[in-house]
Amino acid sequence: SQQGEEDPQALSIQEGENATMNCSYKTSINNLQWYRQNSGRGLVHLILIRSNEREKHSGRLRVTLDTSKKSSSLLITASRAADTASYFCATFIAGGTSYGKLTFGQGTILTVHP
Amino acid sequence: AAGVIQSPRHLIKEKRETATLKCYPIPRHDTVYWYQQGPGQDPQFLISFYEKMQSDKGSIPDRFSAQQFSDYHSELNMSSLELGDSALYFCASSPGLTNTEAFFGQGTRLTVV
């Protein structure tokens, strides 16, 4: 089963608008990471938020984490056409004999119209 | 800055053939992860290594095997290829600490015909 589920599955906005993507997960995590992927290309790391953090910023990106609700959100402010991509959240869980692994959600396809 | 290098970038194989994908992690990264991403799908975890030992195993078919070598590069060996193995295969590396980012390579696009 999916550890992370994202909504919306697709988001279409105009340049300059803000885009918000949400991610929910099922079990306790060490951290949650957001990635961007342009069509058929590699995964680009955007931001990591630890389980003891509630909010983190990086440029036009703002990520929140609510461990009580097991959810996270990614806000992209003042979006640009170049932000058009798929965005994935990934939860990192380590424990026991495991050094940890990232489990990805289904992703949100963001389209920013010029 | 050095990134994760994967080779080859593209690979076309016939059914029942074998394929070997290579991954060269960022220097001083001792953890390597392998992921498979089908068309329109999210990346699925296959297997990971830490300090040359297998760390975690995900949905990796028995036909696939992988290892991490003394120089920390990793290889994913795929045998008896099936049409359904066609996908993007990503390798990622990290310094091996819990709260550090995993950096992904550009992927190998495998097409099985």
In Å, how far is A102's CA from the nearest CA of chain B? 7
Q: Confirm or reject contact between B42 and chain A (CB < 8 A).
A: yes
Say what the pLDDT of residue A100 is: 83
Residue whose C-alpha is closest to residue A83's, from A8, A32, A12, A24: A12
List all residues 6 or more positions away from B71 whose beta carbon is below 8 Å from its beta carbon.
none
- Inform me whether the pLDDT recorded for A4 exceeds 70: no
**DSSP class of residue A3?**
S
In Å, how far is A92's CA from the nearest CA of chain B? 8
* Cα-only R_g, chain B: 13
Partnered with residue A74 across adjacent β-strands are A21, A63
Could B45 and A43 be called an inter-chain contact, meaning their C-beta atoms sit closer than 8 Å? no
- Inform me whether the pLDDT recorded for B100 exceeds 90: no
Whole-angstrom distance, CA of residue B79 vs CA of residue B92: 22
Q: How many CB pairs under 8 A join A and B?
A: 66
Could B100 and A48 be called an inter-chain contact, meaning their C-beta atoms sit closer than 8 Å? yes
Q: What is the pLDDT of residues A67-82, one digit of tens each?
A: 999 999 999 999 999 9
Task: Give percent of chain B above pLDDT 90.
Answer: 82
Give the mean model confidence (pLDDT) for residues B22-36: 95
Whole-angstrom distance, CA of residue B71 vs CA of residue A113: 45
Min mean pLDDT across A3-7, A15-19, A33-37, A53-57 is at: A3-7
Say what the pLDDT of residue A39 is: 85
**DSSP class of residue A84?**
-
Cβ neighbour number for residue B89 with a 10 Å cutoff: 24
Q: What is the pLDDT of residues B51-80, one digit of tens each?
A: 899 988 998 999 999 999 999 999 999 999
Q: Which residue has the higher pLDDT, B98 or B37?
A: B37
* Exposure on the CB side of residue A43, measured as CA atoms within 13 A: 31
Q: Confirm or reject contact between A108 and chain B (CB < 8 A).
A: no
Q: Confirm or reject contact between A69 and chain B (CB < 8 A).
A: no
Could A41 and B107 be called an inter-chain contact, meaning their C-beta atoms sit closer than 8 Å? yes
Mean pLDDT of chain B: 93
Could A40 and B88 be called an inter-chain contact, meaning their C-beta atoms sit closer than 8 Å? yes
**DSSP class of residue A68?**
T
- Inform me whether the pLDDT recorded for A1 exceeds 50: no
Could A42 and B101 be called an inter-chain contact, meaning their C-beta atoms sit closer than 8 Å? no
In Å, how far is B26's CA from the nearest CA of chain A? 14
Task: Give percent of chain A above pLDDT 70.
Answer: 96
Task: Give percent of chain A above pLDDT 90.
Answer: 79
* Exposure on the CB side of residue B7, measured as CA atoms within 13 A: 4
In Å, how far is B101's CA from the nearest CA of chain A? 7
String of DSSP letters for A23-62: EEESS--SEEEEEEE-TTS-EEEEEEEETT--EEEETTEE
Whole-angstrom distance, CA of residue B69 vs CA of residue B5: 15
Q: Confirm or reject contact between B90 and chain A (CB < 8 A).
A: yes
CA A77 to chain centre: 14
Could A40 and B92 be called an inter-chain contact, meaning their C-beta atoms sit closer than 8 Å? no
Say what the pLDDT of residue A5 is: 78
Q: Which residue has the higher pLDDT, B96 or B12?
A: B12
